[in-house]
Structure 1
Amino acid sequence: MQLYYAPTSPFSRKVRIIARELGLEGKIAEIMIDPWTDAALREHNPLAKVPTLVLENGMAVFESAVICDHLDEVARANSDETGIIPQEGSERLNALQWQGLSDGMMAATGRLFADSKRPENERSDFVMDRQHAAVQRSIDAIEGGILSLAAGRPDIGTLSVAAALEYVDFRWPDGRFALSDDLRHWMAALADRPSMIATRYHLLPA
């Protein structure tokens, strides 16, 4: 399998974290690209977005939640592990809800960052305020529900939240979005996992 990714993309990072948590990193060739300029990406994904996973049969799988679901299925089929996505009941719904919140939060963070780089006369205060509110309210929801995030071996929801929170720090190192000490402590407990260390956000090489 081949995974097209960008090191600044939170959705790419989520997939790369999940692949490592499932022990699949050795089966995936990771190809770092600039999705804005790489013509090869559009040959596989009409949206020209990362992450894009190309399977052995040439099929391209895109959208991070779909890729993670596929990787979880692959891992379950090849081992006795329980996977990263709970299979039933409230535990499954809880994990997928946290993933959904995190995905929306990451999208809002990226949009807000991109808009902040536009000339002032090209910005929409309404759109920026809306994205800012989405990020802050997501952080508040995580603060309020942190006890429901999986303990022990983290699941898709827990890891998605971790990737989303670190993305906020990556894009806004000035502290625009304040995170509580409790939330920082929770993040620190996950930050030392090999999957998190190996996939840290960084800018594309110049």
Structure 2
Amino acid sequence: MELWYAPTSPFARKVRIATHELGLADRIRLVEVDPWTDVRLRTLNPLAKVPTLVLESGEVLYESGVLCEYLDSLTPEPHLFPAAGPQRWRALLLQGLADGASTVASRLFADERRPANQRAEAMLARFTQAIDAALRALESQALRTDSLTIGEVSVAALLGSLDFRWPERDWRAPCPRLAAWFQQLDARPSMRDTRHRLPAGN
């Protein structure tokens, strides 16, 4: 299988974390691309977004949640996506919150780099408020450090992205419980082996 990814993408990192947690990393060939300029990606994914997964059959899957659920289905005992019931809804809700915050953070990062006369200050404020509110909501959650679900994987990808994009901003002080959880999780091999970085050549 081929995973088309960008090393700055929290959604691509989410899938890469999942492959490690599921013991599937050695079955995945990584293809680093720039989704803004690599025309090959559009031939695979009409949205030209990462992550995009090309299966051995040639079939193509995209959207990080779909990719993670597919990969989970390849293991003898899937666990990232719990079976029907409260635990499943908890995992999916955490995934939705973290993915939504990651999307907002990506927009905020891009918009902050626009010339001042092209920025919408009200939107920047709204994005910042949304991220802060998401972090406060995650602070109240009892997040796992073992038997991770897709919820915890998504939260880890979000927090790693915040550290990568804004190392000078301290999200930890107002969220000590979340910070302690992330410190423990960030030491896992799946996190160490998938660190965000600038694209090759930068």
Name the TM-score class by shorter chain: over 0.9
Q: Deviations over 1:9-36 (max 9, x none)?
A: 0000000000111111111111111111
> 8 Å contact 2:11–2:51 — kept in the other structure?
yes
CA displacement at 1:150 relative to structure 2: 2.7
Q: What letter is aligned with 2:61?
A: V
Q: Secondary structure at the match of 1:4?
A: strand
1:131-162: CA deviation from partner (whole Å, max 9, x where unpaired): 111100000000122x2x23422111011111
Residue 81 of structure 2 is aligned with which of 85, 88, 92? 85
The yes-or-no answer on 1:126 pairing with 2:122 is: yes
For residue 200 of structure 1, what is the aligned residue in structure 2?
A: 195
* CA 151–177 in structure 1, closer or farther in 2 if over 3 Å, else same: closer
Q: What is the distance in 2 between the residues matched to 1:123 and 1:109?
A: 15
Percent identity reads 46
- The SS at the match of 1:3 is strand
* Correspondence for 1:70: 70
Give the aligned partner of residue 105 of structure 2. Answer: 109
Q: Which amino acid aligns with 2:187?
A: D
Cα separation, 2, equivalents of 1:27 and 1:178: 35
2:136 counterpart of 1:140: yes
Select 2:148's aligned residue among 132, 151, 154: 154
Give 3-state SS (helix, strand or coil) of 2:57's partner: coil
Paired residue for 1:163?
157
Residues 32-68 of structure 1: CA distance to partner in whole angstroms, max 9, x if unpaired?
1111111111110111000000111211111100111
Structure 1, gaps ≥5 residues long: none
CA shift in 2, pair 1:63/1:131, >3 Å: same
Matching of residue 39 in structure 1 with residue 34 in structure 2: no
Normalised to the residue count of structure 2, the TM-score between the two structures is 0.95
**Structure 2 unaligned spans of 5+:** none
- 2:8 and 2:55 map into 1 onto residues whose CA distance is 23
Per-residue deviation, 1:128: 1.0
Greater per-residue helix proportion? 1
| Deviation of 1:172 (Å) | 1.0
Shift of 1:122: 0.6
Q: Which residue of 2 aligns with 1:183?
A: 178
Deviations 1:113-134 (A, max 9, x none): 1000000111111211111111
3-state SS, counterpart of residue 154 of structure 1: coil
In 2, Cα distance between equivalents of 1:67 and 1:10: 14
With the length of structure 1 as denominator, give the TM-score of the two structures.
Answer: 0.93
The CA distance in 1 between the partners of 2:176 and 2:135, in whole Å, is 13
